[in-house]
Structure 1
Amino acid sequence: MPNANAEAQRRWRQRQKEKKQEELVQAVAPAGVFRKPFFEVFTPDDQVGSQYCQALELTGIAAPLFEDDRGPEAFTLDDLQDHNPFGEDSSTSLGRAEVMIGCLIKAAQGLADEVNAYKRTEIKARLAEVEASDLSDPAKKKAALKEAARLNKMLDQLDKQVRWTFPAWKVTG
């Protein structure tokens, strides 16, 4: 007689495998739902006064407008003859917008990392200056300790992660 526990475990694993395969099939973007091209809904006239364009222009970046239904591969600066890193569902203006969202988030994260590293370096340099200063005078020692506490508080703030919320822009079937 086979071990009932082993057989039950085998059936459970098979069900989990089937469930995972179903989820993969459903993870594909729903075809036929988004019929009207994105650029027709978010017209260039709408884009010019939008928060999207204003935010980029404040940083000195000319906002790319959605004027037709071309996907991100038509706008990339890299030669993509051999592969498409954007995925099959990104060949439209909607796909381009979704790729842009991801890229802008990555760019913001990369810039935040660089600013964080710079500020840490500078704060640690100021802490080293405070430690190397003459602390024989009680007034100077008190001021130096206060400055060191302030700088350490700044370092503690840089240790934290921040979270920004966005409306969902990705959907699956």
Structure 2
Amino acid sequence: MSNANAEAQRRWRQRQKEKKQQELKMPEAAGPGIFQTPFHQFFEEWWFGSDYDIALGLAGIETPVFKDDAGPQAYKRGDLPEGEDFHEHAQNSLGRAEVIAGCLITAAQDLASWINEYKKDEIKQRLKELEERDLSDPEAKKAALQEATRLNKMLDQLQKQVRITFPQWKVTG
């Protein structure tokens, strides 16, 4: 019985995680009249040379700018699959900025996951190579044990999660 309950809990957590991911991409409606100055007017004087601009530039990514009050629909790449449009609530430059923030978080999470898997696979390969070495010489055996210890510590680090904090950017009425 406890296994069924644990499985139900896992499914519930997965649904909550998926819901949160969708909410990251969907701008909240704070109500009419709250945000009167278009976001693009506020942002246009601050973006160039900002950490936002510099970080994306260092990554080789062209910085999305806000030249008008168009929402994300106007900028969506044409090669993306059709389906449910999570941009339907994002009608202006503020909505587009919120969608970009959520999408950048999702992209960073996925890229970090790929890097993590790559590094774990490579470390495991090096451990396997150490096991296959001729360790009859005491000095070679000592060096191999030190290297195995170092590699296992790296694997332990890669098993951990990292928490990064952001200022709150979504509000509800």
Relative to the length of structure 1, the TM-score reads 0.79
**Matched ranges for 1:14-25 at <5 A:** none
Tell me how far 1:83 sits from its aligned partner: 5.2
- In structure 2, stretches of 5+ residues that fail to align are 1-27
Matched AA of 1:68 = D
Q: 1:28: how far off? A: 4.5
Matched letter for residue 72 of structure 1: P
Offset of 1:61 from its aligned partner?
0.8
- Partner of 1:47, secondary structure, is coil
Give the Cα separation in 1 of the matches to 2:128 and 2:82: 52
Q: Which one has the bigger helix percentage?
A: 1
2:107 is aligned to 107
* Residue of structure 2 equivalent to 1:36: 37
AA aligned opposite 1:86: H
Q: Specify the alignment match of 2:23 in structure 1.
A: none
Q: Which residue of 2 aligns with 1:96?
A: 96
Cα distance in 1 for partners of 2:97, 2:41 equals 13
Question: What secondary structure does 2:108 align onto?
Answer: helix
Counterpart-to-counterpart distance in 2, 1:83 and 1:126: 44
Report 1:158-173 matches (<5 A): 158-173=158-173
**Larger RCO: Structure 1 or Structure 2 (Cα < 8 Å, ≥ 6 residues apart)?**
2
Partner of 2:151: 151
Q: Residues 140-165 of structure 1, C-alpha deviation per residue, up to 9 Å, x if partnerless?
A: 11110110000000000000000111
Structure 1 residue runs of 5 or longer lacking an equivalent are: 1-26
Look at both structures and tell me which one has the larger radius of gyration over its CA atoms: 1
CA contact (8 A) 1:73 1:84 kept: no
Give aligned-pair identity as a percent: 55
SS of corresponding position for 2:46: helix
Native 8 Å contact 1:73 1:80 kept in 2: no
Q: How many residues align structurally?
A: 145
CA RMSD of aligned residues (A): 1.8
**Cα distance in 1 for residues equivalent to 2:104 and 2:59:** 13
Asked whether the 8 Å contact 1:38–1:93 carries over to 2, the reply is yes
- Partner Cα separation in structure 2 for residue 81 and residue 134 of structure 1: 56
Structure 2 length as normaliser, TM-score? 0.79
Matches within 5 A, 1:70-81: 70-78=70-78
Q: Which residue does the alignment assign to 2:13?
A: none
| Residue 91 of structure 2 corresponds to residue 87 of structure 1 | no
What residue number does 1:5 align with? none
